[in-house]
Amino acid sequence: MLKIIKTILNNQIYAISLYCRTVAGTVVLFIIARYLSIYEFGLFSSYKNITTFCLMFANLGFHEYILISSKANIKEVKLKIALFLLNGVFITLLMIILSLPFKIESHILFFLTIIRTFFDATFFTLILPYFQASKNFNTIATINIFYAFCITLIAIISYIFKLSLCNFLILNIILGLINFINCSYLAKINYLLVFKYITKFIKMLDLSIFAYIGTTIACYIYAQIPSLYVALYCTKEQAALYFAALTIANIISLIISAQSQKMVPELIKASLNETKKILKRNLVFIISITFALFIFMLIFGKFLLLILYGKEYYTNAYPILLILMLGNIVLSEATIFGTYITATSNQKQKIPMQLKATIVAILSLFVFHKFGLISVALTYLVTTIYVAYLYTTFTFKFIKNISIKKEIA
């Protein structure tokens, strides 16, 4: 039995490490929300979402482009990682400079948040292609688990000693910097070469990069509109409510992400009949699990908000939580078909669909804007329904066309 468990852990260690990091990131939010004031938590959540959107420009699908365009050649992968990571550092510094003229409640907290976000998300994503190309998943898994442990420990220390938000962010940045140096050393990334041979590095890039850029931008815009609206136009107390609900609702994303990653290799090699079975099986599984979660939230949602965030005020997020949960249930269905679209090399087809979804999101905010935070949640729900409709109809049409071609042949 122990041997079987050990084998499973060795085979799934990277997937487990991703869960650890995601869960740790969520737990950190729960912990700091318990001792920060509602205003401070709303401020941090707002800055976190704004900086995540800004740093989109530091990684416009570049992690996928690095691996695929290099055909997993380790030497080329390392060179491109060096180029794109330095570009990420430049974008981070540029965002800090460009934010100076704007009226921000706390420039210091915004600067610290964007630096933390770079180390916590952008860097991890851009360094990953090296470990994928070298098939050294155990190392990156160990790094992920250790990082998850450390950020949780920092949050606990911050809670015990009631550290300021500024000190909490500084501790996270120190951890991120250590991780940056460690991973760069393990991957043997030589950043100085980029400065020395910048022209040659740029020539390594090809036009296929624009497909990754287009898809990423289109996806980010429609997905982030509700959160950005809250971060920019709502009070920090309202933002605290919305992001408290969103954090819990996004638990569904864990299931969606894991299922999607599992489906891709299956769909690439599957026949038409096998494809239909895979889609049906995963749809039934996803909808069953997510619907069960929704029923749980319907019954225990208010209690859960109180327990996790420790303040009665957060129970006001209950209706928002239910709407966002419904949105994520619909999105889970869309993801199943979206995974099929990607697996069949139709990624470009997502761009116009996502742009249409962006228009729907903007119109929905205009229509529902009188309902306060509920309007943002409704916008998210309407947008996910529209995306699900587009992905589903495209998939059915695509499968139907394949069937017709086979019948003719």
Q: How many Cα neighbours within 13 Å face the side chain of 232?
A: 10
**DSSP 3-state of 134:** coil
H/E stretch holding 403 reads: helix 373-408
Closest CA to 325 of 391, 241, 287, 381: 381
Could you tell me how many residues make up the chain?
409
Which among 58, 343, 348 is positioned nearest to 215, based on CA atoms?
348
pLDDT tops 70 at residue 241: yes
Answer yes or no: is pLDDT of 287 > 60: yes
Q: Which of 67-71, 189-193, 306-310 has the lowest mean pLDDT?
A: 67-71
What is the predicted pLDDT for the residue at 61? 77
Phi, psi of 381 (to 5 degrees): -65, -50
Q: Is the pLDDT of residue 337 over 70?
A: yes
Higher pLDDT, 258 or 18: 18
Q: State the Cα–Cα distance between residues 106 and 111, nearest whole angstrom.
A: 9
pLDDT band (50, 70, 90) for residue 152:
very high
Task: Give pLDDT, residue 10.
Answer: 57
Query: Which DSSP string do the residues of 242-298 spell out, in sequence order?
Result: HHHHHHHHTHHHHHHHHHHHHHHHHHHH--HHHHHHHHHHHHHHHHHHHHHHHHHHH
* CA contacts within 13 A on the Cβ side of 166: 4
For the record, the structure tokens of 244 come out as 């408290």
C-alpha–C-alpha distance, residues 178 and 182, integer Å: 6
Task: Please spell the DSSP secondary structure of 40-86, one letter per residue.
Answer: HHHHHHHHHHHHHHHGGGG-SSHHHHHHHHTTT-HHHHHHHHHHHHH
pLDDT tens, position by position, 163-213: 898 999 999 999 999 999 998 888 888 888 888 777 877 777 777 777 777
Top-ranked range on mean pLDDT: pick from 1-15, 117-131, 347-361:
117-131
pLDDT at 35: 83
Q: Out of 93-97, 125-129, 251-255, 375-379, give the one with best mean pLDDT.
A: 93-97
Q: Coil, strand or helix: which one is 327?
A: helix
- Please say whether the beta carbons of 215 and 348 come within 8 A: yes
pLDDT at 2 over 60: no
- The CB-side HSE value for 298 (13 A sphere, CA atoms) comes to 8
d(CA 174, CA 44) in angstroms, rounded, equals: 18
**Which of 245, 224, 251, 226 lies closest to 332, judged by CA?**
251
Look up residue 284 and give its amino acid: V
In whole angstroms, give the CA distance from residue 68 to residue 132. 11
209 within 8 A of 65, measured Cβ to Cβ: yes
| pLDDT band per the 50, 70, 90 thresholds, residue 228 | confident
CB 302 within 8 A of CB 317: no
Among the listed residues 248, 333, 253, 335, the one whose alpha carbon sits nearest the alpha carbon of residue 296: 248
**pLDDT-derived band at 11, boundaries 50, 70, 90:** low
How far is CA 231 from each of CA 251, 373, 379, rounded to the nearest angstrom? 21, 11, 15
Q: What is the mean pLDDT of the chain?
A: 82
Mean pLDDT, range 128-139, rounded to an integer: 78
- Which of 108-112, 348-352, 380-384 has the lowest average pLDDT? 348-352
Neighbours of 184 (CB within 10 A): 18
Nearest to 92 by CA among 127, 63, 120: 120
Question: What's the average model confidence in pLDDT over 14-39?
Answer: 80
What's the confidence (pLDDT) of residue 154? 93
What's the pLDDT at 12? Answer: 63
Examine the pLDDT at 403 and tell me if it is beyond 70. Answer: yes
